[in-house]
Structure 1
Amino acid sequence: MIDRILALLALLGSGLVTGVFFAVAVSTVPALMAMPPGRYIYAHKLLGRNWDPAMPIIVLTATFAAAGWAIGAASPAVRVSAAVVTVLMLGVSGVSHLCNVPINKRMRAVDPDAVPADWADPRPIWRRWHLLRTALAVGAFLLTSVAATWT
């Protein structure tokens, strides 16, 4: 029974993360890329203020659920799949915390009404890191979905 609960938590968490990241990738990022620097910084601050701690909690819950599922699954195929999901979700967390979050913090420190002349636009690199973590989340969600159907 516990393996089904862990599978459900891994599936729900990886699905939520994938949905949020996909929406950001196809809608929010292109809109932010089209904005002039001051407007971008202002919008970035507004959009980013409610993600923490919600997204880290969801990502880490899904990660720990997948790890527990990998340990307790009866089927070797499900154990291996859940272990790979755990690694993928750790990748999501790692990219978020080590790459995207530091950029977000730097942007929060910039005054949107007084963007420095030498301001280095972080949007292209932020987008690349975001697309990487989105791909990791999609992989985790797909594999979780497949493994959950084997249970």
Structure 2
Amino acid sequence: MTDLLLPLAFLANGLAAGVLVGTVLGVVPFYMTLAADSYVRAHAFAVGRYDPFQPACLLVTFAADVAVAVTAPTTAVRVLCAAAGLAAVSVVAISLTRNVPMNRWIRAQDPDTLPAGWDMDAFRRRWARWNSRRTAVAVLALVLNAAAAVALP
């Protein structure tokens, strides 16, 4: 079972972490260059593509890691996968409590009539900060899954 589930966790985790790292490296810096109306359009466009994919990958990572943590042949692999699963579900928690509410707010805005007094720069910085945090946790999960793969007998 571990021979099937650990590669699945590693693949799903790598895809999710890759999307998040790509966002940190390319999308966020691009967002920072945009005028308010263009930013709202670009953010809403991207969110509709990333949101279904990234959470699904993280939930597959979590489920596979939990299954490996229960069935792995060694304590080291069990502990590493349990930690990786905890990290993956932490990314989901950060997303659901921080980034997703902000994403929903952006998607609900009309780019041509943005709320008076909206501090777009503060909003972008706050979204980017939470995105960087969840990216770091997703990469930590990936490192833990890689260590678990190396620790297999």
Counterpart in the other structure of 1:38: 37
**TM-score, scaled to structure 2:** 0.94
- How far residue 39 of structure 1 moved from its aligned partner, in angstroms, is 0.7
Equivalent residues, number: 150
Report matched runs for 1:1-151 at 5 Å.
2-121=1-120, 122-151=123-152
- RMSD between superposed Cα atoms in Å: 1.0
**Cα displacement string for residues 22-76 of structure 1 (whole angstroms, at most 9, x for unaligned residues):** 0000100010011111110011111111223222211101111001110101110
Q: Which residue identity does 2:53 align to in structure 1?
A: A
How much identity, in percent, do the aligned residues show? 35
In the TM superposition, structure 1's runs of 4+ consecutive aligned residues that sit over 3 Å from their partners are: none
Separation in 1, partners of 2:31, 2:98: 18
- How far residue 106 of structure 1 moved from its aligned partner, in angstroms, is 0.3
Q: For structure 1, which segment, 74-83 or 51-60, has the greater mean C-alpha deviation from structure 2 after superposition?
A: 51-60
Q: Which residue identity does 2:60 align to in structure 1?
A: T
Separation in 1, partners of 2:22, 2:46: 13
Q: Which residue identity does 1:124 align to in structure 2?
A: R
- How far residue 136 of structure 1 moved from its aligned partner, in angstroms, is 0.4
Separation in 2, partners of 1:120, 1:102: 16
Kept after mapping to 1: 8 A contact 2:19/2:54? no
Q: For structure 1, which segment, 42-51 or 94-103, has the greater mean C-alpha deviation from structure 2 after superposition?
A: 42-51
**Cα displacement string for residues 89-123 of structure 1 (whole angstroms, at most 9, x for unaligned residues):** 01110001111000000001111111222113221
